[in-house]
Amino acid sequence: MLIFLLAAGFFAAFVDSVVGGGGLISLPALLLTGLPPGIALGTNKMASVMGSLTSTLSFMSSGKVEYKLIKYLFFIDFFGSILGVYAVQKIPPHFLKPLVVILLILVTLYTLRRKDWGDVSTYKGLNKRTAWLGGVIALSLGFYDGFFGPGTGSFLIFAFLLLGFDFVVAAGNAKALNFASNIAAVFAFAAFGSIQYSYGIPMGIAMIAGAFTGSRVAIKNGAVFVKPLFILISVLLIGKQLWDVSH
């Protein structure tokens, strides 16, 4: 079982470090161990934080994170995630499932239609417009990640592409904000005692290795690697959400 979790963690983090969506692999793996869903979710978040920190640092060390923008958005995203975690205790998030499917389909179709989108950066630097849009994005998607979660990585990358970043820097920025919202969620799960550390720590160590490998491959190969993987994971997320809606 431990070998299975290590392999699943490595592969999940490899994918997640580039375009998000690693939970499609790691969460089912944890559920197969027999953990209750709530414990599996908390354990997955704890392991994912270890991977997302690694990929964030890897993207940053290669200059693939817009630090001047992200250093402000990080705390906005963190605060938004805390609000989302609080809100989900009061309001069931199931009503979001159909809306998320529609948004993921629109994101995927738009990305497919824009053939050269994300190949070259058109980002003009930090200004008032970018700061305001970035703040709205960070607060909204941070809240969404704490409240519901599926597709957060895809939505973040899409948002940064709209701001003019190329695919690799968009992925690096997305990982930095995803790390912020994941920390907030882990604090909440830990407070409720919903983390199985004997599974989460080994899986997290495997995720460190997977995240480092995935981010290095993405940085080396650029949009040629990231864009097709982004589309593939978005399609898989659409399928997963459609399945959840219909059952």
Work out the average pLDDT over 55-73: 92
User: What tens digit of pLDDT does each residue of 168-203 get?
Assistant: 999 999 999 989 988 988 888 888 888 999 999 999
Identify whether the C-beta of residue 123 lies closer than 8 Å to the C-beta of residue 141. no
Q: What is the pTM of this model?
A: 0.87
Measured CA to CA, the distance from residue 158 to residue 166 in angstroms comes to: 10
> CA gyration radius for the chain?
17
> What proportion of the chain, given as a percentage, has pLDDT over 70?
99
First CA to last CA distance, the chain: 28
Query: What's the token pair of residue 215?
Result: 């981010």
Q: What pLDDT is attached to residue 212? A: 95
Q: Where are the domains of the chain?
A: 2-246
- The type of residue at 186 is V
Which among 30, 13, 26, 27 is positioned nearest to 178, based on CA atoms?
13
Q: Please state the rounded mean pLDDT for residues 60-72.
A: 91
- Tell me which residue of 222, 230, 229, 231 sits closest to 120, measured CA to CA: 222
Residue 149 pLDDT exceeds 90: no
